[in-house]
Amino acid sequence: MVDANGEQLGIVPISEALRIAQERGLDLVEVAPNARPVVCRLMDYGKFKYEQSKRERLARKRQKTVNIKELKMRPRIEDHDFEVKVRNAHRFLTDGDKVKATIMFRGREIVHADLGKKLLIRLAERLSDVAVVERQPKVEGRNMVMILAPKGN
């Protein structure tokens, strides 16, 4: 049995441990049920649960969620439009979000998947200072997808 202050009280029968806990106005909590003998601790269980939930809340608050922002383009995108997409992707990546770049093919454009791949590679090269390619360009149905992650990770 362990005291509320962390001091060892030695091996104590359960009835004696419960009596001590009741005298001190504390709870008897089983800490290590698989140990021989079983380890119990005197503590204010309500206060313990409150502090534990407080620590978990603080840990969740410090956690950064990573969002995936999507950029959609066509294989025959104009240069200015491409530059706008690059700027947006740069902003997303510096904010800590991942970027999913999608090239959408219509009709027979899918035959020229190499144009879409060149476009995605060009995008990755333009963003190489802030991004790393997490998933290489890959055709999924009528789309070609590439995922970029911020370099800091």
In the chain, where the domains are located: 14-62, 68-150
What CATH code is assigned to 14-62? 3.10.20.80
Return the pLDDT at 153: 53
Q: Report pTM.
A: 0.60
Homologous superfamily of 68-150: Translation initiation factor 3 (IF-3), C-terminal domain (3.30.110.10)
- pLDDT values of the chain reduced to their tens digit, one per residue, 153 residues: 888 888 888 888 888 888 988 988 888 888 888 888 888 889 888 988 999 999 999 988 887 777 899 999 999 999 999 999 999 999 999 988 999 999 999 999 889 899 999 999 999 999 999 999 999 999 999 999 999 999 875
Q: What DSSP character marks residue 65?
A: P
Return the pLDDT at 132: 93
DSSP letters along 92-146, please?
A: HHHTT-EEEEEEEP-GGGGGGHHHHHHHHHHHHHHTTTTEEEEEEEEEETTEEEE
Enumerate residues 6+ apart whose C-beta is below 8 A from 12: 1, 20
CB atoms within 10 A of CB 136: 12
CB 117 within 8 A of CB 136: no
